[in-house]
Amino acid sequence: MVAYTLAVAAAVGVVALTALVFRMAGKGSPDGRADGPSAGHAGSMLSALFLLVFAIAIIVPWTTADAARHNTYTESRSAVDAYWAAAGLPGTGPESVRAGLRDYVTFVADDEWEAMRDGRLHPVGTERLDALRTRVTTMEATETEALEARADVLEHLAALSGARALRAADAAATPPSGVLVLTVVTGLLVIVFPFLAGARPRGAALIPLLAMAALLGFGALLTWDISRVFDGPLAVGPDAFRGALEEFARISGGV
């Protein structure tokens, strides 16, 4: 924070020093008009800065949300593959493992998703997945077919665990520090800049200004909504896991 403050102070100091030097040297001409070169230059640069910050505030979280949505389908797909592979386990292995997978996926869709609104995964989900992997690892198997089935299930569970770790990272992901604040600040400056430059818009001239202010406000709200991957109106939902539960029911009915 200190570095940012010093950077702002240095930039302001450059402007003040330059204005003083040119005034002492008698260079240039007075410019106090709202449509003068100083106001025009500052206005265009403020607009460019807002667009740059707004693009960062939208693109980075949108990319994170898109990756998070893809990761949820990867995780649910691994659970379905493990559910299929469990059919070859010996003894009561298929029923036990499939019940564990149903419990895990149901917990993620119904309970863990609420915890992810706070940027974290529920530890119970990790415990259930670890217990399921331990159950499969310690399962006795002597025949080749059973050994291969156990290896396949463990492979899919490992993929599921890896996708879960990615989901944890997605839940904790946030936009670059200060981007949301800078978006709001630059948006406000763009809105009030004509008044700061000395203009006093009236009548029909206020209509485009009000329209711009409304759109900038909507854009700022959009950056806030999209910054939370698993929370808000644009959040990634548990659709992939609910689809996996439907797959479980279909597979069990066909086996």
Q: Please tell me the distance from the alpha carbon of residue 141 to that of residue 153, in angstroms, as a whole number.
A: 13
Q: Which amino acid is at 132?
A: L
Q: Please tell me the distance from the alpha carbon of residue 215 to that of residue 209, in angstroms, as a whole number.
A: 10
Q: Are 98 and 252 in contact (CB under 8 A)?
A: yes
Taking only the tens of pLDDT, the chain with its 255 residues reads 566 566 557 656 766 665 666 567 666 566 555 556 666 667 788 888 888 888 888 888 888 889 999 999 999 999 999 999 999 888 888 999 999 999 999 999 999 998 888 888 999 999 999 999 999 988 887 788 888 999 999 999 999 999 999 999 998 888 777 888 888 888 888 888 888 877 787 878 788 888 888 988 888 888 888 888 888 787 899 999 999 999 999 998 754
Kindly give, in sequence order, each residue whose CB lies less than 8 Å from that of residue 216, ignoring residues fewer than 6 positions away: 50, 187, 190, 191
Burial class (CB in 10 A: 0-12, 13-18, 19+), 127: exposed
Torsion sign, CA atoms 237, 243, 244, 246: positive
